[in-house]
Amino acid sequence: MTELRTYLFDLDGTLVDSLQDLTTAINELRTDLDLAPLTLATVRGYVGDGATMLVRRALPAGTFSGNLLQDFLDRYRRHLLDHTRPYADIPAFLDSLQGAPMGVVTNKPLDMAEEVLRGLGLRPYFGTVIGGDSCAEKKPHSAPVRQALAELGSEAATAIMIGDHRTDLIAGRSAGTRTCFCAWGFGISDGNPYDYLAATPIELLRLFPGSRP
C-alpha cells in the first residue's frame, strides 16, 4: 500500500467538540419560535451535513427559511468559542504530523471554520481549509476533498480523509483517498466502508505513528 503523506480532517466531531455551542444557538432559535429546547443528544444526531441541514432538522417540517438559517448563523457566531475545544490528544497528534501536508475539509461555513481554528490555536497546522461554501458542492460530494488536495499539491493515492461522519467517508472514497472513521464524534458511518477505525483520538497516534512526508 502506498505510504500516506497527506492528512485531511473534518472539523466538528473530529478535531473539535462544538456540540454545546451548536446546541445553544439552535435552542435560542427554537425559543424565539416558542419551541421547546433540544437535548445535546438530539442535536448531535443533526450535525454533519452543514448548517442548512442542521436547522432543517432542528425545526418542525415546513418551517425552515433562509431568514431562520441566517438567524441561526448569527446566533452561533456569538457562541462559536464559548465551549468549543479540541478533543484531548488531537493537538499531540497534529504535532506528530508536522511537516506533512494537512488540511481541513468541513461543511461548516469557511469563515466560521477559520475563526474556530484560529481561536483554538490550530490554524498553523493546516495548509488549507475548505468550508461548506468553498465549493459548489458540500461533502459527501468529492469536490471539497479534491479541492483540498489540489491546494496542497497532493495526490489522492497518498492521502487520507479522517472524519466522524458518513459524509467524510463517502467524500474521501469518492475522491480516491483512504478513510479513517472517528468513532468518538457526532456522526455515524451508516454502513459506509472505511480503511481505518479510531475509537478515541489517541488511537490516531497508534494508527499513524510519527508520520512524516
Residues annotated as catalytic (active site), given as ranges:
10
Nearest 5°: phi and psi at 193?
A: -70, 155
Residue count of the chain, please give it. Answer: 213
Which amino acid is residue 180, in one-letter code?
C
Q: Which run of H or E residues covers position 105?
A: strand 102-105
What is the distance between the terminal CA atoms of the chain, rounded to a whole angstrom?
15
Q: Which three cell numbers stand for residue 187?
A: 456522526
For the chain, how many helices (H) and strands (E)?
9, 8
Burial 160-194 (b: 16+ CB within 10 A, else e): bbbbbbbbbbbbbbbbebbbbbbebbbbebeebeb
Residue matched to cell numbers 498553523: 124
**In whole angstroms, what is the distance from residue 21 CA to residue 27 CA?**
10
**In whole angstroms, what is the distance from residue 67 CA to residue 71 CA?**
6
